């Protein structure tokens, strides 16, 4: 789609595609499990909806009030894990970090909040299948994506 587009330095065509047309954004009706990761300092959150058929992820969606980096990573990651099993999806976190390459501290936190919300959704599924009544599982982020004040 963006073959003839001059890309900003360091941006891949795949990243631009997900930036311009995010995939799997929004609420999923009747998910098997829901995970939320929140940065309490900034109020940024990601909600990850996962639909499972046994160990296979048949659909995944996410919602966020986060920045474009969070949206792009959510889009890329959800595309990577749909139609794969849970073990593949857990390994996909490492693969995504490799694919994203060198990131700023803020971008790494954006990636981590997406991955943490997915892991929280799996914890929600584990809790539900063990008989615990839980609407969603929440993780509070240790690191914040807030950028400190610059002294000019």
pTM of the predicted structure, to 2 decimals: 0.85
Dihedral of the alpha carbons of 116, 56, 68, 18, in degrees to the nearest 10: 160
Tell me the mean pLDDT in the region 129-150: 80
The DSSP element (H or E) to which 127 belongs, if any, is: helix 105-129
- On the 0-12 / 13-18 / 19+ scale of CB atoms within 10 A, 17 is middle
Average pLDDT, the chain: 85
Q: Which domains does the chain have, with CATH numbers?
A: 34-140 (3.90.1010.10)
pLDDT in tens, 104-113: 888 888 889 9
Residue 94 has pLDDT above 60, yes or no: yes
pLDDT in tens, 113-122: 999 999 999 9
Residue 74 has pLDDT above 90, yes or no: yes
């Amino acid at each position: 789609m963006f073959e003839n587009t001059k890309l900003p330095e360091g941006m891949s065509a795949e990243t631009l595609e997900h930036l311009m047309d995010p995939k799997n954004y929004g609420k999923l009706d009747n998910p098997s499990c829901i995970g939320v990761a929140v940065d309490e300092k900034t109020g940024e959150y990601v909600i990850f909806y996962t639909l499972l058929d046994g160990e296979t992820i048949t659909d995944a969606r996410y919602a966020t009030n986060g920045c474009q980096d969070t949206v792009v990573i959510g889009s890329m990651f959800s595309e990577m894990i749909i139609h794969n099993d849970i073990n593949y999806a857990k390994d996909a976190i490492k693969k995504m970090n490799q694919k994203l390459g060198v990131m700023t501290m803020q971008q790494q936190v954006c990636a981590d909040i997406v991955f943490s919300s997915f892991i929280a959704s799996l914890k929600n599924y584990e809790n539900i299948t063990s008989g615990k009544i839980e609407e969603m599982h929440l993780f509070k982020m240790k690191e914040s994506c807030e950028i400190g004040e610059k002294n000019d």
